[in-house]
Amino acid sequence: MNFTDYQYVRPEIDQFTKDFKAKLVEFKEAVTFETQSAIFKSINELRDEFQSMYNICLIRHTINTKDNFYEEENKFFDENNPSYQALNSEFYQCILDSKFRKELEGKWGKQLFIIAELSLQTFKPTILSLLQEENKLSSEYTKIKASAEIEFEGKQYNLSALAPLEQSKDRDLRKRAKAAKWNYYKSKSAIFEETFDKLVKVRTEIAKKLGYDDFIKLGYARMLRSDYSAENVANFREAVRKYIVPLATQIHERQRKRLGLAELYYYDEDFRFESGNPKPQGEPKWVIEGARKMYSELSDETNQFFNFMIDKQLMDLVNKEGKASGGYCTYIAKFKSPYIFSNFNGTSGDIDVLTHEAGHAFQVFSSREMGINEYHWPTYEACEIHSMSMEFFTWPWMHLFFKQDTDKYHYAHLTGALTFLPYEVAVDEFQHVVYENPEMTPKERNSAWRNIEKKYLPHRKYGDNEFLENGGYWQRQNHIFASPFYYIDYALAQICAFQFWKKDQENHEAAWSDYLRLCKAGGSQSFLDLVELANLKSPFEEAVIEEVVGSIQDWIIGIDDSKF
């Protein structure tokens, strides 16, 4: 079977609930651990079935948001995922209260019980209708962006299709392309701001009903953060400001000089080299064949994985009309199948997103036999280690895609990863400010964003773009709307991925062995325990950030970027 053969059947929620509750009764009444363990397995199969139908729906809906059938199915899950969450909460309470908890913990490890305890802090039946409203608002934002039709110089573009023009050698063209994109956001800003305002208020109301002072602690519990706090994250942001922002500013200044510009404006930032940005030297099918060769040579495990992905048609990579923006990887447990979604548009980002999402997919493929839903994935910041590190482990094969521009790509990729870090922490700080002050007006939120932007991105110049100068940039960020507090995860993981980059250059076999061990562990441990398992250092240690920056700075100094 391949993905097109995977049958979607809408879960019959009443029957599903009845079956689930019956299994919970059996679980509670089990008189031996063996019996309870068998019931545990059958409950997990029920959960996998529901989640698999959700993920098949998600994939087919985001591939074509104009498909009316999956639009309705997406609404079904928006309305019924909270009911599923309620059942899952009952399951978590059962395992925490189990008379065989010691034996269950011996079999599955402590992480399952940490997840159960944190999850129970995020749900009560009284918030069900509020969760439905939150899901609905989040879906509205996704659909509006997916339906974007931007008229530019006589042609229609969606948001992904504009990207190559935004990287044009012609400065005036890229300025106009950027302006067209941001004029679209400006035209939708009132509805985006209203949607987000409603999201902030409904999330705050959910938090209050659950006994929290504000949404922040609830947001952290939803993200299953068990071994660090908002204070640790604030210290991390400060370390980024202290060590990474100055180097990022230097890199942007080198770019300005390299391009021969008096000022580097926002519409110049994505254009790295006067000779043009590196880009794949062939069409998407050619890229996939290059990736097949790359993964066949990287390791036996990646060879098996990538052929599985191709043979079962588990990737939809190319941008098209009606497709949701961005890229992601998800997992269909019923078929033990990862799935990669992206929007190829002919830029180097095509290779970035392919290797990034392949890192996620390879991890879940490696841990697909873990046996329980909770361990398919680790928490998000650990997930992003797999994806960002895969981007670096594939460096030796970048010549397959970029040919004569391989060195240029390496420079752009490494410096791009570093200069993106300040934006990631800016997004995180913005969310903390917003949820600390849920009564802020849209104008006040925009102003707060602009002030934070100046703190972490001091180089950025918006010129005559009034919308961006007034703080509208954050409205492009899907995570802020759909996955609150999921963004610092990229920054934390990037520090870990930089460590893998350095280790891979020094000893590939040892680095790959550590990475493979990390992938196979799935979600069986917490973030910092997984970091230790992979022989990495905690990104919360300031000295680690300073050390990473020093390694990158040394590498950059050895590169003559003027030749690019």
Task: Give pLDDT tens digits for 376-433.
Answer: 999 999 999 999 999 999 999 999 999 999 999 999 999 999 999 999 999 999 999 9
Structure tokens at 459: 């180089």
- Mean pLDDT along residues 335-352: 97
Amino acid 14 reads D
CA atoms 167, 170, 171, 174: torsion sign: negative
Query: What residue numbers bound the domain in which 339 lies?
Result: 284-416+487-538
Which residues does 162 contact at the CB level (< 8 Å), separation at least 6? Answer: 150, 152, 177, 180, 181
Q: Would you give the DSSP letter of residue 32? A: S
Answer yes or no: is 321 within a domain. yes
Mean pLDDT of 198-217: 97
Q: Which of 133, 159, 187 is the last residue of a domain?
A: 133
From the CA atom positions of the chain, what is the Rg in Å? 23
Residue 117 in any domain: the answer is yes
Of the chain, the percentage scoring pLDDT greater than 90 comes to 98
Q: How far is CA 548 from the centre of its chain?
A: 22
| 18 domain-assigned | yes
**Phi (first) and psi of residue 540, to 5 degrees:** -80, -10
Q: Is 522 helix (H, G, I), strand (E, B) or coil?
A: coil
The pLDDT of 117-122, averaged and rounded, is 97
Distance CA 147, CA 156 (A): 12
pLDDT at position 446 is: 98
- 485 vs 204, 217, 222, CA distance in Å? 14, 10, 9
Is residue 422 within 8 A of residue 242, CB to CB? The reply is no
Q: What is the DSSP string of 11-65?
A: --HHHHHHHHHHHHHHHHH-SSHHHHHHHHHHHHHHHHHHHHHHHHHHHHHHH-T
The overall average pLDDT reported for the chain is: 97
Please report the pLDDT score of residue 429 as a whole number: 98
Residue range 296-319: mean pLDDT, rounded? 98
Reported pTM: 0.95
Please indicate, yes or no, if residue 223 is contained in any of the structural domains.
Answer: no
Cα of 8 vs its chain's centroid, Å: 25
Structure confidence by residue, pLDDT tens digits, 520-557: 999 999 999 999 999 999 999 999 999 999 999 999 99
For 18, 540, 542, the CA distances from 233, given in Å and listed in that order, are: 42, 8, 12
Tokens at 439, concatenated? 């009564």
The pLDDT, as a whole number, for residue 436 is 98
The pLDDT of residue 360 is 98
- Band of the pLDDT at 468, cuts 50, 70, 90? very high
Q: Average of pLDDT values for 455-463?
A: 98
Residue 532 domain-assigned? Answer: yes
Asked if 459 and 253 count as a contact pair (C-beta separation under 8 A), the reply is: yes
Each residue of 483-517: pLDDT tens digit? 999 999 999 999 999 999 999 999 999 999 999 99
Q: Is residue 563 part of a domain?
A: no
pLDDT in tens, 142-193: 999 989 999 999 999 999 999 999 999 999 999 999 999 999 999 999 999 9
pLDDT at 462: 98
Q: Which of 130, 132, 131, 127 is nearest to 76 (CA)?
A: 132
pLDDT at residue 94, as a whole number: 98
The answer to whether residues 317 and 295 touch, using CB atoms and an 8 Å cutoff, is no
User: Which of 79, 99, 133 is the last residue in one of the domains?
Assistant: 133
Q: What local confidence, expressed as pLDDT, does residue 453 receive? A: 98
- At 210 the pLDDT is 97
pLDDT at 551: 96
**Is 349 a member of any domain?**
yes
Tell me the pLDDT band of 335, cut-offs 50, 70 and 90. very high
Domain boundary among 133, 149, 171: 133
Question: Which residue is it, tokens 């609930």?
Answer: 17
Average pLDDT (88-99) is 98
The count of domains in the chain is 2
Q: Specify the pLDDT at position 544.
A: 97
As beta bridge partners, residue 338 has 331
Looking at residue 202, its pLDDT comes to 98
Q: Please indicate, yes or no, if residue 51 is contained in any of the structural domains.
A: yes
Instruction: Tell me how far apart the alpha carbons of residues 30 and 39 are, in angstroms, rounded to a whole number.
Output: 9
Helices (H), 437-558: 442-456, 466-469, 478-482, 488-506, 508-520, 527-533, 542-557
Beta-bridge mates of residue 337:
332
